[in-house]
């Protein structure tokens, strides 16, 4: 008789650091709780679990009864725990010391709170680089799981992937399991009986000396949070039908990764290339390249040779997000700088709070964009900056920095100048814009320069401008034949027009200057404690521009060398946490002309307040000469599992004056709200 196929079933649960509590509550209600409750009723169904460290802490605090249930399943041997970096970082893009710290922090947490240290580890977004091997092994991890696609890219045949393989790096050995792509797409989208039959069919190739294995490890959010899945998985009973089918089949044995790993031998040595799952390899490419890649994939599928050659149709690598999005690259390099400062701090001065702030700033979600990436979500970027600004203030208290210094932080070949006084920090890039692109308020732990410019995205060609069709191209299929994956859906949450998708021709920074709508170009003139000066070219308008930092106040002065006919304007983009929600409002002359999501115009603005309850503070903007001020929200168009949507990134203020006065002064005062 052939041996049964070993089903190694694992789920990964994660929520980004800083996600909205209502989002996590919904995920718990529609996914985490019902999933654990159903699995608890089937103790013979063995499975692996990875809850990211931040989410595990949150659930233990908010829903302790569910984590208690999970702990019981661990204690009775039903659940195998998988490790990872504590805050779900991409291990390949943080320093070795932080990889060790992140992995060890989480492994100790699992031992303390759930009773076991892990033998296996989940790799965030299945991003593989061989450089992560030493840190995993040094923390006691014996095996990890990646997609079978990774193995195909290394030249392996699909028929060979019936177990685990071994790799090595810097004298450390690590075993790797290949996740079945077929199972990732069948569970839970195909009927339960069909999925069980497919797994059982893998036993047909087994003999007394061979043991095929079905490896599954994927996001738990597919079991309740993705569109249509709650009804399909729970109300229509898919999950119970699947578990019952597996347990009833004589051809399937539900097994832990650790037990299979102990009982079986490695299938041999393998060296995997730097890659992630195939969809990620498309998302990380610039729009034009991503479109060419997608066209090639479609051509291969239409001509019937994709499955045989897909390993050779490889897109970009995860780190391309840093070269593609300057905002992501800046966050990443700022994080690396803070990591180096913390590591250099004498041990007696380091605190657990400092370490936790660093680790939370390394959470992956806000650094990339794709169907599930969060770079376009301002509240996730804000969480990264909240931690970095807070950590920087702690480090400055221990080892003060100069009031001003210059360096090329993001390695783009252009130096940045930092002005800071312990209360406010302004960062300038020494290019022709002479603008501020990071403005930190240390008391508020906030970066007002945390905005995102509009870029052309590869999915724009799927959007017909002006359409508002929630189901126009939606691959809606919820019947006995299964449901559609989020990868297959085209769904519109908002009306999107052509101008919403126009790429910006300048950074979304503070104090972008124009004369008669033409961008002014500047050169640095001088740099001193608390101030920096620039000078524009003589044509079309010679201007001296000076920034002065004092306490909680930033002052920008313009000196015009001559008076001329025309309109001078400056654009100020501010990241306000409330965005277009109810917590953000303008206050002008004691009245509220609108919220941050509104468009309006003032003809004689000399002072206006931007008040934000989410921030817990406000900005007072004043001008020495009455200005015509236009206010509007800055939106970007993004794609998520829920569909195409517009997301507010910043408040965009445009101030205009005729060039009649010799001098113009604009002041920003940053204040905390009184409690």
Angle at 420 between CA 415 and CA 421, to 5 degrees: 165
Residues forming beta bridges with residue 513, ordered by sequence position: 570
Say how far apart CA 67 and CA 72 lie, in whole Å. 9
Residue 199 CB neighbours (<10 A): 27
CA 53 to each of CA 97, 103, 122, 512: distance values in angstroms, whole numbers, following the listed order: 18, 10, 12, 41
- The SS3 call for residue 612 is strand
Report which of 397, 114, 128 is spatially closest to residue 272, judged by C-alpha positions. 128
Helix (H) or strand (E) holding 308: helix 306-309
Length of the chain: 675
Please spell the DSSP secondary structure of 323-365, one letter per residue: HH-HHHHHHHHHHHHHHHHHHHS-GGG--HHHHHHHHHHT-SG
Distance CA 255, CA 8 (A): 6
Dist. CA 219–CA 387, nearest whole Å:
26
Antiparallel, parallel or unpaired: β 617-640 and 643-658? antiparallel
Question: Other C-beta atoms within 10 Å of 481: how many?
Answer: 10
Q: Report, as residue numbers or ranges, the catalytic residues.
A: 125, 219
For residue 573, the number of C-alpha atoms closer than 13 Å in the C-beta half-sphere is: 23
SS3 600: strand
Alpha carbons 234 and 229: distance in angstroms, whole number? 8
Match 């309006």 to its residue by tokens: 600
Contact 663, 560 (CB under 8 A): yes
**Within 10 Å of residue 480's Cβ, how many Cβ atoms?**
7
Distance CA 576, CA 291 (A): 33
CA distances from 616 to 267, 382, 387, 441, 578 (A): 57, 14, 16, 12, 10
- Nearest by Cα to 577 from 594, 598, 553, 596: 596
H runs (alpha helix) in 210-274: 229-230, 238-248, 257-263
Q: Which residues contact 633 (CB under 8 A, 6 or more apart)?
A: 579, 580, 596, 597, 598, 599, 648, 650, 651, 652
- The residues facing 188 across adjacent strands are none
Closest CA to 46 of 367, 206, 331, 260: 260
Residue 584 token pair? 């953000």
Sign of CA dihedral 196, 197, 198, 199: positive
- Alpha-carbon distances, residue 297 vs 146, 307, 527, 666 (angstroms): 22, 10, 52, 53
Q: Which residue in 39, 461, 165 sits closest to 287, CA to CA? A: 461
């Amino acid at each position: 008789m052939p041996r049964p196929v070993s089903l190694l079933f694992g789920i990964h649960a994660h929520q980004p650091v800083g996600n909205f509590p209502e989002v996590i509550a919904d995920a718990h209600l529609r996914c985490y709780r019902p999933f654990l409750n159903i699995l608890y009723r089937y103790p013979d169904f063995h499975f692996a679990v990875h809850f990211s460290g931040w989410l595990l802490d949150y659930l233990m605090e908010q829903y302790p009864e569910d984590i208690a249930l999970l702990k019981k399943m661990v204690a009775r041997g039903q659940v195998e725990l998988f490790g990872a970096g504590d805050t779900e970082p991409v291990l390949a893009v943080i320093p070795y010391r932080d990889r060790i710290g992140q992995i060890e922090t989480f492994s100790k947490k699992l031992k303390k709170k759930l009773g076991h240290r892990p033998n296996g580890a989940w790799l965030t977004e299945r991003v593989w680089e061989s450089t992560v091997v030493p840190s995993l092994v040094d923390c006691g991890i014996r095996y990890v799981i990646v997609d079978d696609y990774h193995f195909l890219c290394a030249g392996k045949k699909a028929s060979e992937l019936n177990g685990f393989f071994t790799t090595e790096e810097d004298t450390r050995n690590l075993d790797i399991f290949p996740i079945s792509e077929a199972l990732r797409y069948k569970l839970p989208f195909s009927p339960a009986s069909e999925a069980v039959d497919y797994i059982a069919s893998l036993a047909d190739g087994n003999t007394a000396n061979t043991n095929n294995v079905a490896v599954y490890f994927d996001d738990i959010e597919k079991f309740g949070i993705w569109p249509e899945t709650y009804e399909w998985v729970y109300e229509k009973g898919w999950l119970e039908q699947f578990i019952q089918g597996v347990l009833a089949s004589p051809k399937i044995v539900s097994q832990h990764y650790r037990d299979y790993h102990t009982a079986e031998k490695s299938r041999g040595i393998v060296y995997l290339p730097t890659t992630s799952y195939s969809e990620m390899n498309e998302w990380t490419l610039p729009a034009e390249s991503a479109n060419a890649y997608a066209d090639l994939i479609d051509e291969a599928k239409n001509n019937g040779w994709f499955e045989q050659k897909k390993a050779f149709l490889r897109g970009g690598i995860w780190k391309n997000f840093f070269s593609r999005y300057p905002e992501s690259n800046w966050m990443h390099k700022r994080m690396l700088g803070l990591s180096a400062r913390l590591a250099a701090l004498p041990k007696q001065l380091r605190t657990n709070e400092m370490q936790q702030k660093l680790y939370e700033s390394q959470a992956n979600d806000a650094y990339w964009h794709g169907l599930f990436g969060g770079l376009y979500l301002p509240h996730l970027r804000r969480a990264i900056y909240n931690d970095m600004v807070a950590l920087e203030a702690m480090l400055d208290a221990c080892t003060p920095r100069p009031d001003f210094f210059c360096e090329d932080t993001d390695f783009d070949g252009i130096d940045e100048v930092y002005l800071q006084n312990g209360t406010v920090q302004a960062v300038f890039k020494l290019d022709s814009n002479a603008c501020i692109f990071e403005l930190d308020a240390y008391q508020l732990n906030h970066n007002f320069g945390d905005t995102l410019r509009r870029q052309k995205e590869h999915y724009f060609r799927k959007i017909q401008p002006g359409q508002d069709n929630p189901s126009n191209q939606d691959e809606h299929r919820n019947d006995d034949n299964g449901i559609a994956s989020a990868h297959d859906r085209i769904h519109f949450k908002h009306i999107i027009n052509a101008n919403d998708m126009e790429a910006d021709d300048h950074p979304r920074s503070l104090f972008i200057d124009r004369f008669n709508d033409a961008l002014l170009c500047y050169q640095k003139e001088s740099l001193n404690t608390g101030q920096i000066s620039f000078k524009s070219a003589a044509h079309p308008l010679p201007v001296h521009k000076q920034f002065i930092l004092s306490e909680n106040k930033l002052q920008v002065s313009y000196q015009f060398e001559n008076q001329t006919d025309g309109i001078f304007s400056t654009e100020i983009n501010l990241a306000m946490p409330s965005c277009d929600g109810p917590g953000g409002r303008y206050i002008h002359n004691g009245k509220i002309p609108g919220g941050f999501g509104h468009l309006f115009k003032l003809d004689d603005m000399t002072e206006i307040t931007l008040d934000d309850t989410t921030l817990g503070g406000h900005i007072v903007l004043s001008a020495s000469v009455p200005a015509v001020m236009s206010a509007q929200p800055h939106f970007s168009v993004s794609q998520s599992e829920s569909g195409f949507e517009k997301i507010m990134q910043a408040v965009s203020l445009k101030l205009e004056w005729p060039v009649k006065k010799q001098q113009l002064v604009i002041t920003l005062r940053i204040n905390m709200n009184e409690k």
